[in-house]
Amino acid sequence: MISLAIDGALFNYRVAGVALLDEKVLLHKTPSDKFWSLPGGRASLFEFSKDTLVREMQEETGMNVEVGEMLWVSENFFVYNGIKHHELGFYYKMEIPSLADQNDFIGVEGDGELLFKWHPVAELSTIKIYPEFLTTELAQNPLRVKQFASGFIDLDKA
């Protein structure tokens, strides 16, 4: 996975999917996190970003997804678990053709769990989502293609 430790900090190359259905968006978090994010994960070396999203969703949820157009590119700087992160994120439209329902479910992240939940887009301002631009951008209809950059935020204190 493309995650490089450099001088006590971490560089991540992350790919995430935007699954919208019935005015809800699929988000996930670890049980200990205080914020939600879009599902996805770190790219592997020499892996196309769309393939990363397909692989990560299969690994974490067992679901096959169809990856659509790229929506956003984001450069984020944050502290998470006491470590400074520099993250480059690619965000794609994503469909889950075999989705049976929009019930909450548990996924797998290595040896841990991920909580998956369909959140009403109209209520996103009532929860913590990271990166922060997602709260505003997910409410746009239609979604707009943009590039974002954020300064340091401490997710341990969010």
Q: Which two tokens stand for residue 151?
A: 């300064």
Contact in structure between 90 and 80 (CB atoms under 8 Å):
no
At 101-126, the pLDDT tens digits run: 999 999 999 889 999 999 999 999 99
Q: Please choose, from the candidates 4, 1, 8, 3, the residue with its C-alpha nearest in 3D space to the C-alpha of residue 79.
A: 8
According to the model, what pLDDT value does residue 158 have? 67
Q: Measure CA of the first residue to CA of the last residue in the chain; give whole Å.
A: 26
Does the pLDDT at position 133 exceed 70? yes
Over range 11-15, report the average pLDDT: 97
pTM of the model: 0.92
Does the pLDDT at position 54 exceed 80? yes
Return mean pLDDT, the chain.
Answer: 94
Over range 89-104, report the average pLDDT: 95
Does the pLDDT at position 157 exceed 70? yes
- Percent of the chain residues topping a pLDDT of 90: 85
According to the model, what pLDDT value does residue 27 have? 98
According to the model, what pLDDT value does residue 107 have? 96
Lowest mean pLDDT among 35-39, 94-98, 139-143: 139-143
Residue 64, amino acid = N
